Amino acid sequence: MRVKLALEVRNIAMRFHSDEGEVLALTHLSLEVREGEFISIVGPSGCGKSTLLNILAGLLHPVAGEVYINQTRMSGPTAMVGYMPQSDQLFEWRTIWGNVLLGLEVQKKITAETKSFAEELLIKYGLIDFKNYYPRQLSGGMRQRAALIRTLAINPQILLLDEAFSALDYQTRLLVADEVKQIITKEGKTAVLVTHDIAEAISMASRVVVLTKRPGEIKSIHIISLDTEASPLKRREAAEFKDYFHKIWKELDIHV
Amino acid sequence: MFRGKKKAPCSQSRALSAEHQNYLHRKKMYRFQVLSSQFLLLLFIVAAWEIAANLRLIDPFITSQPSRIVNTLVTLHHEGSLYRHTSLTVLETIIGFTLGTALGTLFAVILWWSKFLSDMLDPYLVVLNSLPKIALAPIIIVWFGHGMTAIIVIALLIAVIVTTLGVHVGFSQVDQEKVKLLRTFGASKWQLLGKVVLPASIPTMIAALKVNVGLSWVGVIVGEFLIAKAGLGFLIVYGGQVFQLDLVMTSVIILAVAAALMYQGVVLMERLLLKWH
């Protein structure tokens, strides 16, 4: 049986131009992500992680190669892909409800149906009582949840998480990662997490993709065979966890 | 920030501790001291002015004095001209800063929309910004005639360039991550403008509006000086020419009160618009 691919990256390359010259940011990069899979991408800073994510979000067009979302070639931002920015980026001037509806509003998809879907998400994830609150009135963890619901409201198949928890303090970060993972699994979404935090990458994903230094290409892919049912926090306690950590740490080859 | 509706810290019990009561009391006392000192200072100035003038320590003919100002106010009130002049000046000022802010914001949007225009016009805007716009007042009067229109144009001219530059900078300081988020939803440029750039810049626009209120007063008063037909600026310049310092001082005081009230109005509007803060 052929597994359905949610995301397929075929041999892409990306170049940037500036006065100083041109820079090859990504090269010969191919990647397949199955439906419902959670993968993490790590790499040394400046390796083109964010560039890759911007390409997957449809904000940048690779100079070579193609990206397929659900077997459809990507040509720009699409409702099938939902993006989770660094820090929640909730709009302070909108209520939680206003924020949750933002994507639908932009895509002109506000209907009774989509609204009740968004409302259900709020109910399911315990934010319905805060519907009319402004973001500043919510805790960091709740804001992150609201941001996730904003992304889920457009019902994307793939979620892109761009260092999504990096703005939170360490404890909150662990808890939010747990919560987000749980929600993503429950909603049956495919997810791509870009992070510089190796432990976070291992704890959340079933595969960790390591990129090389610039120009970024895939150095290795690590299959993480930790209990898939367990929460990221639990997975961190597993004995094999530190083995994965060391292996990936070595591969990243970080020097200061 | 906190409006007292927030939950009290957990250490606080129902009954206020003596220490906390003491703290609140001291805080209240301090506020009272500030307020009463402010009032006393005003009282002192008015009294000193009045007494000094009565004792002929200063010449009320050139310094006027509080009782004469009150008399002038009463006379102007009976003539009805007090309200005519004041309302005219206030109206011109409001139109001036409203139009100045609105036009400045519109120009900022145009510059935001087109990077090319923004780069191309940059040196012109810098020159226009450094030019004292008041110098253009005679030209404006020639172009727009000897009346209210010219006064409003002068006021608006002073405000518009600085607003354009300020709001444009505000636009470019909008969190790019927010813009990016919207772009991943597939937002058009109009949507970026309407859903992030403008709402995120409301604080900048209000700050510009506050500055413009002050600038607009300057423009209107100078305009009234030059055109000298009506308004508080006219009363001041006329009073000066006929050596009626009572009229000058009265007009200045009315002007100060009107300007302070208008500023408070803007602050109030700010609070309503920025209720998410």
Predicted ipTM of the assembly: 0.89
What pLDDT score was predicted for residue A155?
A: 92
Contact B185 A92 (CB under 8 A): no
Residue in the structure block whose two tokens are 């740490």: A249
The whole-angstrom distance between B205's CA and the closest CA on chain A is 15
Is the peptide bond between A44 and the residue preceding it cis, with omega within 30 degrees of 0?
Answer: no
Question: Please, which residues bridge with residue A208 across strands?
Answer: A40, A222
Give the strand pairing for A64-69 and A5-18: antiparallel
Q: What is the DSSP string of chain B?
A: ---S-SPPPTT--SSPPHHHHHHHHHHHHHHHHHHHHHHHHHHHHHHHHHHHHHTTSS-HHHH--HHHHHHHHHHHHHHTHHHHHHHHHHHHHHHHHHHHHHHHHHHHHHHHH-HHHHHHHHHHHHHHHHS-GGGGHHHHHHHH-SSHHHHHHHHHHHHHHHHHHHHHHHHHTS-HHHHHHHHHTT--HHHHIIIIIHHHTHHHHHHHHHHHHHHHHHHHHHHHHHH-SSSHHHHHHHHHHTT-HHHHHHHHHHHHHHHHHHHHHHHHHHHHHTTT-
Instruction: Report DSSP state, residue A183.
Output: H
Average per-residue pLDDT in chain B?
Answer: 90
Average per-residue pLDDT in chain A?
Answer: 89
Residue B13 has pLDDT above 60, yes or no: no
Residue B247 tokens, joined: 């009229």
pLDDT (mean) for B210-215: 90
Count CB atoms within 10 A of the CB of residue B25: 10
Best probe of the B interface among A55, A56, A89, by most B CBs < 10 A, is A89
In B, minimum Cα distance to A134 occurs at B276
Q: What are phi and psi of B204, to 5 degrees?
A: -60, -45
pLDDT band of residue B2 (cuts 50, 70, 90) is very low
pLDDT in tens, A184-240: 998 889 999 999 889 999 999 999 999 988 888 888 898 988 887 788 888 888 888
Q: List the one residue out of B220, B210, B212, B241 whose CA is nearest residue B137.
A: B220
pLDDT (mean) for B214-243: 91
Its pTM stands at 0.84
Count CB atoms within 10 A of the CB of residue B4: 5
Residue A114 tokens, joined: 């989509």
Residue B269 tokens, joined: 């509007």
What pLDDT score was predicted for residue B8?
A: 44
Percent of chain A with pLDDT over 70: 98
pLDDT (mean) for B144-159: 92
Give the strand pairing for A5-18 and A21-34: antiparallel
Q: What are phi and psi of A227, to 5 degrees?
A: -50, 115
Which residues of B sit within 8 Å Cβ distance of A?
A: 175, 177-178, 180-187, 191, 195-196, 199-200, 202, 276-277
Percent of chain B with pLDDT over 90: 76
pLDDT band of residue A2 (cuts 50, 70, 90) is low
What pLDDT score was predicted for residue B1?
A: 38
Q: Which of A121-135, A237-251, B33-47 has the lowest mean pLDDT?
A: A237-251
Contact B184 A83 (CB under 8 A): yes
Instruction: Report DSSP state, residue A97.
Output: H
Residue B82 tokens, joined: 């007090």
Alpha carbons A59 and A50: distance in angstroms, whole number = 11
CA atoms within 13 A on the CB side of A118: 25
DSSP H helices, chain A, are 49-56, 96-100, 102-106, 112-124, 140-153, 170-186, 198-204, 232-235, 241-252
Q: Residue A6, SS3? A: strand
Any idea where the domains of chain A sit in the sequence?
A: 1-78+192-256
Q: How many residue pairs from chains A and B have C-beta atoms closer than 8 A? A: 58
pLDDT (mean) for B215-223: 93
Q: List the one residue out of A185, A219, A218 whose CA is nearest residue A204.
A: A185
What pLDDT score was predicted for residue A50?
A: 87
Contact B184 A77 (CB under 8 A): yes
Contact residues, chain A, for B178 at CB < 8 Å: 89, 91
pLDDT in tens, A22-34: 999 999 999 999 9
pLDDT in tens, A150-160: 999 999 999 99
Contact A102 B195 (CB under 8 A): yes
Q: Which of A83-87, B39-43, B141-145, B159-163 has the lowest mean pLDDT?
A: A83-87
Q: Which residues, at least 6 apart from B103, have a Cβ–Cβ distance to it below 8 Å?
A: B156, B160, B163
Contact residues, chain B, for A57 at CB < 8 Å: 184
Q: List the one residue out of A206, A249, A208 whose CA is nearest residue A230.
A: A206
Contact B270, B127 (CB under 8 A): no
Length of chain B: 277
Residue B238 tokens, joined: 């006329």
Residue B156 tokens, joined: 């608006």
Q: List the one residue out of A254, A256, A253, A222 whose CA is nearest residue A240.
A: A222
Question: Please, which residues bridge with residue A191 across strands?
Answer: A38, A159
Q: Residue A157, SS3? A: coil
The whole-angstrom distance between A191's CA and the closest CA on chain B is 16
Provide the edge-to-edge strand list for the sheet that holds A72-73.
Answer: A21-34, A5-18, A64-69, A72-73
In A, minimum Cα distance to B201 occurs at A93
Residue B101 has pLDDT above 50, yes or no: yes
Return the top range by mean pLDDT from A2-11, A177-186, B86-95, B264-273: B86-95
Q: Phi-psi category of B155—alpha, beta or left, where left has phi over 0 and alpha has psi -120 to 50?
A: alpha
Residue A37 has pLDDT above 70, yes or no: yes
What is the architecture of the domain spanning A1-78+192-256?
Answer: 3-Layer(aba) Sandwich (3.40)
Contact residues, chain A, for B197 at CB < 8 Å: none
